[in-house]
Amino acid sequence: MGFLCALLVGNAHAADRVWLIGGGYDLENSQVQIEQNVLWARSVLQALPGERSIQTYFNDGDDPAPDVTLWQKPAEDAASLQLLARVYDADYVNGETVRTHRIAPVEGPATRQTLLQVLPDAIAGLQPGEQGLFVYAGHGSPGDDSLGDAGSQLDLWGKGQLNVRDLRKLVAAQPHNTTLRFVFTQCFAGGFQAAVLPRAGEPRRCGFYAVAQDRLAEGCTASLDVAEYRGYGTYFFAALAGQVRTGGALLADPDRNRDGRVDLYEAHLYTLHAARSTDLPRSSSEQYLLDWEPWYLPLLRVTPRTDNPYAEIATALAGDIDLSAPVRPALHERRKQVQTQFQQLLARQEQTRSRAQTAMEQLQSELEQRWPDVRNPRTLAYTRFLARDLAAAQAFVQGHALYADLVRDQNAYWELDNAMLELQRQLALFDRIEFLEHLGRLRDVFLARAGDAERAVYQGLLDCERQPL
């Protein structure tokens, strides 16, 4: 579950240039959280010191047609038709509404055609000393290996895609003596690493990824509950803003070098510590280390250096969840417990769904025997049913012996769904602790054993990630 914000940032004497791009690929998959993610990112970027122009491309642009889906729990009464909706397995969908987006101004739609028209000239127009940041909020999917697009792709409005080949063409337009940075928050985000990574002699470039190439990101929700927005951008931009998304204090001070400002690498490290989501983020410099990793790493005895941020965060996270030393055996035991709990909840959910399905089929059969017109929604017969028989039909449903059980099981299904998501977040946190411990060992071995050329590439990526806004 991400958003494209191409933020091109200038040096101390030039205005930042920002492209903020996001949305879904159709109405059903344009959840309100994506809209709110774009607004959140833009508000943070606008509030940062320095000058910047922000151009926003979102969904269908200025088209007044509905392009955002949102959800609120429907009332449990006849007026909301929730009784009938439950019988026809629409208890969740009955809470959905659609509207046009509330992002203004927008420069255009977030379509493949528009982006490929706008971005090449925008990137090519960067002046010496200017820098850029490109952040995506929306959906992503794996690239098509058969077409040579292995990696990831952005799923854009109108069901178009921007893939790895497209991104390579975009970055090829980047002038020398400029910096271009990316923040990808979508599923399979890490699949863009190879396209972002600069070759020898190319301008400075780097990226931040919500997840690896083979992993789903924290999903986008149609709910308006901002407190439940756990995607990468929620924490990343909170670090830049100096406060959490709901206005409270941050978990920790993200300004690790104490220079009075938070750079993007510091925001990323804060996210690794603070996020409680299913994401497992990494940056270009981190992915470079992972790609460099020697086969003999597990055989080495490594004592973390005092300046190792990954070992420090791993220790802090282990302390946050009261993992006893040694951490790895305790972590594996905790993981087994949570996995067992997850499987138990999954089995309960399947049983709940089966009971609800049986009750729905029985209620549908009895309803349609009494009021045959209910069988044909979106027809003239159905309008007769709504005008003439709706009240009696819903009264029949509410008084039926099966209805209370149906409500209980349908509600339990979604409660179990939420409980399983929390367990998945716990498992992801365990994964993150192990990942950070591994990355910390790898980083120190790299600094001790890598060749000069490899160290220069790594340092160049770090310098890119740390360059202040």
Quick one: pLDDT at residue 335?
Answer: 96
For 280-324, how does the pLDDT look when each residue is reduced to its tens digit (9 = 90+)?
A: 999 999 999 999 999 999 999 988 899 999 999 999 999 999 987
pLDDT(386) > 50? yes
Backbone phi and psi for residue 381, each to the nearest 5 degrees, phi listed first: -60, -40
Q: What mean pLDDT comes out for the span 353-357?
A: 98
Check whether 93 has a pLDDT greater than 90.
Answer: yes
User: Considering only CA atoms, which of 36, 40, 8, 14 is closest in space to residue 23?
Assistant: 36
| Rounded average pLDDT over 440-462 | 97
What pLDDT, on a 0 to 100 scale, did the predictor assign at position 15? 64
CA–CA distance, 296 with 365 (Å, rounded to integer)? 65
> What does the pLDDT read at residue 4?
39
Mind listing the pLDDT tens digit for each residue in 3-38? 334 333 334 446 678 889 999 999 999 999 999 999
Containing 20, the helix (H) or strand (E) segment is: strand 16-23
Q: What percent of the chain has pLDDT over 70?
A: 96
Q: How many CB atoms sit inside 10 A of residue 218's CB?
A: 27
Q: Which two tokens stand for residue 426?
A: 């716990």
Decide: 99 and 66 in contact? Cβ < 8 Å.
yes
DSSP secondary structure string for all residues of 147-164: GT--SEEEEETTTEEEEH
Name the DSSP letter for residue 115. Answer: H
* Dist CA 231 CA 218 (whole Å): 5
**Paired sense of beta strands 179-184 and 204-209, if any:** parallel
